[in-house]
Amino acid sequence: MVRLNRVLLKDAGNAIDKTLSEILVCPLSKQPLRFCEKTKSLVSDTIGVSFPIKDGIPCLVPKDGKILEEEGDASKA
C-alpha cells in the first residue's frame, strides 16, 4: 500500500507541473508560459525569457528569468 501511494504521489507531481504551466502567465508580458521538458523551466515565447523551476516551485520573479539568446532558442527550449 505504501509503495502504491509513493507511485501515485510521484505521478501527481508530474500532473501538477502540467497544470501549473497551463495556469501561470509570464510576470512581464502576462502571456501564457510553456513548460520545457529539456530545461525543466517555464518559457515565455512572447519575450524570449525562461523562468527556472526550483524544487517544483516556479520562480517567476523577473530577475530570475534568463533571456534566451536567439529567437530560435525559444522554439528549441
What's the one-letter identity of residue 54? Answer: K
pLDDT number for residue 37: 87
Q: Which residue range is the domain that position 36 belongs to?
A: 11-67
pLDDT number for residue 23: 85
Pairing of strands 49-54, 57-58: antiparallel
pLDDT number for residue 49: 96
pLDDT number for residue 76: 53
Whether the model clears a pTM of 0.75, i.e. scores above it, the answer is no
Residue 73 inside a domain? The answer is no
Q: Quickly count: other Cβ atoms within 10 Å of residue 60's Cβ.
A: 18
What is the domain-level CATH number for residue 36? Answer: 2.20.25.10
What distance in Å separates the CA atoms of residue 76 and residue 62, rounded to the nearest whole number? Answer: 22
Residue 49 inside a domain? The answer is yes
What distance in Å separates the CA atoms of residue 65 and residue 53, rounded to the nearest whole number? Answer: 10
Residue 60 inside a domain? The answer is yes
Coil, strand or helix at 30: coil
Give how many domains the chain has, as a whole number: 1
Residue 41 inside a domain? The answer is yes
Per-residue pLDDT tens, the chain, 77 aa: give them: 445 444 444 444 444 456 766 788 999 999 999 888 898 889 999 999 999 998 888 899 999 999 998 655 445 55
